[in-house]
Amino acid sequence: MDDEAANREFWHWALGAYGRPGAQAVLLALQDEHGGDVMAALWAAAAAAWDRRLTEAERTAFFARTAALRAEAARRRAERRALKTAGDPVRYAAAKAAELAAERAVAAAAPDPAAAGADAATPAMAHNLALMLQGLHPPVSSCLINRLTEILGAR
């Protein structure tokens, strides 16, 4: 599969996973309370969904390949949040669309999660999420990782 098709598949998987009951709340807690990156967590979860266990080198590659685009998505998110209470639904909708486009650009730049890592000899979801979420402050609790594993691991 070419990179464009792989990234499109990842993007559709990520949208579906984000839409699962409870996923949005847990992913936004990860982002807002721990400084985590939703697309990084979804990328790790997608790799696990395709039975791939990530390595530290792949974690590093993900963050390097997507750094500028993740910064742009964060900038767009801040703009959207600032407009949320401004009472201008047209500008808010435009900001929300721009943020979503920036997140999609992150997905497009990410390595193919289906080609990452090695086939998982053991369940990869908790491993991949813990790998991608290491170093956050405050640290992500095992309870939050387990909740993400439960939600995003459902097929």
Q: Assess if residue 108 is contained within a domain.
A: no
Q: Assess if residue 75 is contained within a domain.
A: no
pLDDT of residue 154: 60
pLDDT of residue 118: 64
Domain count, the chain: 1
Q: Assess if residue 7 is contained within a domain.
A: yes
Closest CA to 150 of 27, 67, 61: 27
Q: Assess if residue 58 is contained within a domain.
A: yes
pLDDT band at 7 (very low <50, low <70, confident <90, very high): confident
Expressed as residue numbers, the domain containing 51 is 3-67+113-152
Q: Assess if residue 136 is contained within a domain.
A: yes
pLDDT of residue 20: 95
Q: What is the pTM of this model?
A: 0.81
Q: Assess if residue 82 is contained within a domain.
A: no
**pLDDT tens digits, 101-121:** 999 999 999 988 877 766 655
pLDDT of residue 119: 63
* Three-state SS annotation for the chain: CCHHHHHHHHHHHHHHHHCCCCHHHHHHHHHHHHCCCHHHHHHHHHHHHCCEECCHHHHHHHHHHHHHHHHHHHHHHHHHHHHHCCCCHHHHHHHHHHHHHHHHHHHHHCCCCCCCCEECCCCCHHHHHHHHHCCCCCCCCHHHHHHHHHHHCCC
**pLDDT tens digits, 35-85:** 999 999 999 999 998 888 899 999 999 999 999 999 999 999 999 999 988
Q: Assess if residue 39 is contained within a domain.
A: yes
Name the one residue in this structure whose structure tokens are 């387990």: 146
Q: Assess if residue 25 is contained within a domain.
A: yes
**pLDDT tens digits, 20-49:** 999 999 999 999 999 999 999 999 999 998
Cα 36 to Cα 128: distance, rounded to the nearest angstrom? 14
Highest mean pLDDT among 102-111, 117-126, 129-138: 102-111
